[in-house]
Amino acid sequence: MPWFAAISLPQFQLQAALRLREEAWAEPVAVLDGSTEKGRVLEMTATAAASGVLRGMASTQALARCATLRVMPRAAAQEHALAALLLEGAHALSPFVEATGDGVCTVDLRQLKNDDWEPWARGVVQRFAALELRACVGVATNPDLAALAAARAEPVLVVQHPGAFLAGIAIAEVDAPPELVAVLRDWGIGHLGALAKLPRSEITERLGPAAGDLWERASGRSHRELCYARPAEVFFETFDFEQPIDTTEPLLFILRRQLDQLTLRLREAYRAAGKMTLTIALENTAATYERAFTIPSPTTDAEVLLRILHTHLENLRLEQQPIGLRLLIEPVIGAASQHQLFESALRDPNRFGETLARLSALVGAGNVGVVKMDDTHRPDSFQLVDPQFEKLTASTEATPSESRATGLPLRRFRPPFPAQVHLRRYLPAFVFSEKAHGEIAEAAGPYRASGTWWDREAWTAEEWDIALTDGALYRLSKQGDAWFVEGCYAA
């Protein structure tokens, strides 16, 4: 007889929201569905439940019942991480694992021989407890039954007699279409046992195949094949040095060997390196140095990958000596198509990437990238973003409106030069600064802009364009009472 184990993380959304906050379990806490105005309660701690907070209740009513209730939004990233952890943990038990739902995995136990599953299941619970996860395990002869058992396990439940077990399970606890559940509720069918007593053919005739499936589950006869899930593939190698090292050569030597291994594995898996993360453990400290590299053109060429690391390490200064390293590669599927005939992509994106890495090492990681203008009226507001190598083309032409708005090109002084400006009848008349100095023949402005007034980062800007008597054109700005020369216009 085949056996299946369902591993469930009860109150999955709450566990995710309270991860690493063990003390919060003793407090009244509820996780809300923040996407609706009602803010319905999804899950709550036992303390909150004791105060009358129920699942599905509007947050206002929940707060009315429990004034000290702490309401939290869903933690999507944590839920994702928890799901990955669960899957990883399940794979340690068997290669045949299904990601059944939020916080539930089902494991096919056919390859394991066991007469008494309960001690095994308790062991699983303990393994997850070591990861600070509250898990429940249900073991039964089919996957659906196992999932139901896991939902009722405290924390372990092995179903030996499916009929008796199913009879007491409320239909509301089962994953079934809400409309079907509502009809059954009107029928007075609250438990699976009652449903199983109804004639299957009559149910299916009236309520359709979904009801038939539910009946199968209610009678313990359902069987389905698991839809196997594989944990996310990552390729990594680690190495611990016997002694702290003080030059880059040993590092590069080890990294070269690691890359040979990793690229070999990548090629075998028909994958290429898309991202590389280097983690260096440092002497006498728990802290590590970590740096991620996006590979401009995913590759399995160890030489190319080493060059990227080499360039970075050449200029790296660490406060402690390295005592270990870990190199992790996130794989992607290699490029499947060639570039179009008239599309002039970068000839060697990896070389370009290497150049950027050299620049980054020289000027700092935050100061290299592709300029992207912010969608704001704020003058000179931009970000440096990672280049999207695959989209880079030879040139892009400015639209007519952009060219007109630009006028003469402005060469910005970074940072701007402080200036003294004298006004005559509200207009700038003289400027004194390191860069621009003299009588102002003509001034256009002020040009005023302001924004982000709704936040603490509210800003205002006042600018003037000036022509000095010698014909030079400058841009002035006024911030508070201070004046600056922002740049000069060049014909």
Partner 1 sequence: MRRNYVELHARSAFSFLRGASQPEELALQAGALGLGAVALCDRDGLYGAPRFYGKGKECGIELITGAELTLDDGAVLPVLVESRTGYQNLCQLITRAKLRGTKTHAPIHWNELAEFSEGLVALTGDDEGPVQRCLDRDDLAGAGERVERLRQAFGKANVFIEVQRHLRRGEELRIRQLADLAHAERLPLLATNGVLFAQREQRAVLDVFTCARHHTHLDAAGRLLSTNAERHLKSAAQMTRLFRDLPHAIDNTAALAERLQFRLGDLGYKFPTFDVPDGETESGFLRQRVFEGARERFRERFDERTRAQLDKELSLIERRGFCGYFLCIWDLVNFAKAQNIMVQGRGSAANSAVCYSLGITACDPIAYHLLFERFLSEGRNVWPDIDLDLPSGDRRESVIQEVYRRYGQHGAAMTANVITYRGRSAMREIGKALNFSPDVLGRFSALFANGDFPHTLDLQAQLTQAGIPVSHPRAAAACELYQMIKALPRHLGQHSGGMIICQHHLSSFIPLENASMPGRVVAQWDKDDCEDLGIIKVDLLGLGMMAVLQETIQLSEQRGRKVDLYEVPANDPATYEMINAAETIGVFQIESRAQMATLPRLKPKCFYDLVVEVAIVRPGPIQGGLMHPYLKRRSGLEPVTYFHKDVEEVLKPTLERTLGVPLFQEQMLKMSMDLAGFSGSEAEELRRALSFHRSHERMNAVIVKLRRRMQEKGHTEEVTEQLLQSVQSFAVYGFPESHAISFALLAYASAWYKVHRAAEFFASLLNNQPMGFYSAATLIKDAQRRGLHFLPVSVVHSEWVCTVIDDDTVRLGLCIVNGLRREHGAQLLIERTRMPFTSVTDFHARTKLTRPELRTLAKIGALNDLETHRRDALWQVELPIDTEGLWEAHPPSQTPADNSEPTPLAPMSNWERLAADLSGTSLSIGKHPMSMLRAKVPQAWPAADLPRAANGTYLQIAGQVICRQRPGTAKGFVFISLEDETGVANAILMPELFERYRLLITSESFLIIEGRMQNLENVIHIKADRILPMRENNLSLAASHDFH
The binding site for partner 1 (CB under 8 A) comprises 32-39, 52, 58-61, 63-65, 71, 73, 183, 186-189, 197-199, 202, 205-207, 374-377, 379, 400-401, 404-405, 426, 444-451, 453-456, 463
Q: Minimum Å distance from CB 106 to partner 1? A: 32
Q: Minimum Å distance from CB 448 to partner 1? A: 4
How far is residue 204 from each of residues 145, 197, 200, 212, 220, measured CA to CA in Å? Answer: 21, 13, 6, 5, 17
Cα–Cα nearest to 479, from 415, 384, 383: 415
Give whichever of 377 and 424 is closer to partner 1, judged by the CB atom: 377
How far is residue 348 from each of residues 291, 297, 359, 389, measured CA to CA in Å? Answer: 23, 8, 17, 10
Question: H or E stretch including 4?
Answer: strand 4-8
Give whichever of 63 and 229 is closer to partner 1, judged by the CB atom: 63
Q: Minimum Å distance from CB 67 to partner 1? A: 8
Q: Minimum Å distance from CB 460 to partner 1? A: 8
Q: Minimum Å distance from CB 197 to partner 1? A: 8
- Determine if residue 114 is left, alpha or beta; phi over 0 gives left, psi from -120 to 50 gives alpha, anything else beta: beta
Contact by Cβ (8 Å): 421, 435: no
Give whichever of 29 and 104 is closer to partner 1, judged by the CB atom: 29
Coil vs helix vs strand at 430: strand
CA distance 117 to 103: 21
Give whichever of 336 and 405 is closer to partner 1, judged by the CB atom: 405
Give whichever of 73 and 250 is closer to partner 1, judged by the CB atom: 73
CA distance 139 to 135: 13
Tell me how many helices (H) and strands (E) the chain has: 15, 20
**Phi–psi pair at 149, nearest 5 degrees:** -65, -40
Q: Minimum Å distance from CB 95 to partner 1? A: 41
Give whichever of 345 and 467 is closer to partner 1, judged by the CB atom: 467
**Per DSSP, which regions of 115-216 are E strands?**
136-140, 156-158
Q: Minimum Å distance from CB 452 to partner 1? A: 8
Give whichever of 41 and 107 is closer to partner 1, judged by the CB atom: 41
Residues contacting residue 38 through CB under 8 Å, at least 6 positions apart? 58, 59, 60
Give whichever of 141 and 204 is closer to partner 1, judged by the CB atom: 204
CA distance 431 to 77: 54
CA distance 359 to 261: 29
Q: Minimum Å distance from CB 398 to partner 1? A: 13
